[in-house]
Structure 1
C-alpha cells in the first residue's frame, strides 16, 4: 500500500534580512518548495522525500547553502493561529535583531510609503553622521523595521498598507535609534532610544 505524502501548508512566508540580501528569488522559492513538498537532503547529497505527520506543531528542515558556511533553515509553525514559515540562516535562528520580510510583499510591488517631513532630534544630529541618518531613512522607505519582533514587524507592514503609525528600532552608529512615521504621514522623527 502506498503511503500518501502530506504536503505542508506554509502559510505566510517570512524571510530574514540576510536571506533577502544573499539568496535570489529562485533560491528562496526552491528551498520553500522543497520544504513544502517534504524534500530533504541527506549528508551524502542524496535528496529524499519524506511524509510529514499532519499532527506535528513545527516542521524544521535544513538546506545547504553553497556559497556560505551556514545552512538555510526553513521552519513552519503549525501551532499558531495563522500558519507561517520562516526562512533564515542557521546562525541567526535565535537572533531577534535579524529583521523579517513578508516574502509575498517583498516579491510584489510595495505600496508607496511617504515619510512626510523627516526630522531628527538634536541628540541624533550630534551622535550620528548624515550617512547614518540617510541609511535610517532608506531602511524606513524599504520596509526594514530593524530590531522589532515578528509581531511588531507584521503590525508595521499592515500600518503601511492601512495608514497606521510605523515605529522601527535600529542599532546604528553605536546607538539604539527609533524611527517613527506618523499615521497621517505628515512627519517622520528619528530619535535616540532614550528620547522615545
Structure 2
C-alpha cells in the first residue's frame, strides 16, 4: 500500500453510521481515510479505480469502497473541489 497523500482531503467528516460500524473493531476512521488519500481505492469497481487515478490530476470526485472487519461497506468520497472528504456507510449514500 502507498503511504504518500496524493490529493487534498479538505474537511474530513464521518457519518454517525460509519462511526457506529467501526465500534467494537480495532479499525479507526482515519485508517480508511489514509488508505483513500494514498490511492488505495479498496474494493471499488475497476472502472471507478481508473476514474480515481484520473481524478487525482483532473480534479473530479474521488470514490473508494472498503469493507470493515464486521462486513460493513464504507464509502470514502472526496468532493471534486477538494473541500471535504466523507466516510459513510454504503446505504447512507
TM-score interval, smaller chain: 0.7 to 0.9
Q: Which runs of 5+ in 1 are unaligned?
A: 1-20, 22-105
Q: Between Structure 1 and Structure 2, whose CA radius of gyration is higher?
A: 1
Q: 2:38 aligned to 139, 142, 145, which one?
A: 142
- Is 1:181 the counterpart of 2:75? The answer is no
TM-score by length of 1: 0.42
> Is the CA contact (8 Å cut-off) linking 2:13 and 2:84 kept in structure 1?
yes
Query: What residue in structure 2 maps to residue 133 of structure 1?
Result: 29
- Is 1:161 the counterpart of 2:29? The answer is no
> Is the CA contact (8 Å cut-off) linking 1:113 and 1:160 kept in structure 2?
yes
* Aligned CA distance change for structure 1 residues 150 and 190 (closer, same or farther; 3 Å): same
- Work out the number of aligned pairs and report it: 89
Of structures 1 and 2, the one with the larger relative CO (CA 8 A, separation 6+) is 2
Q: Which runs of 5+ in 2 are unaligned?
A: none
Query: What residue in structure 2 maps to residue 170 of structure 1?
Result: 66
Equivalent position SS for 2:28: helix
Aligned counterparts, 1:16-31, within 5 A? none
Q: What is the deviation of 1:111?
A: 7.9
- Is 1:120 the counterpart of 2:14? The answer is yes
TM-score by length of 2: 0.84
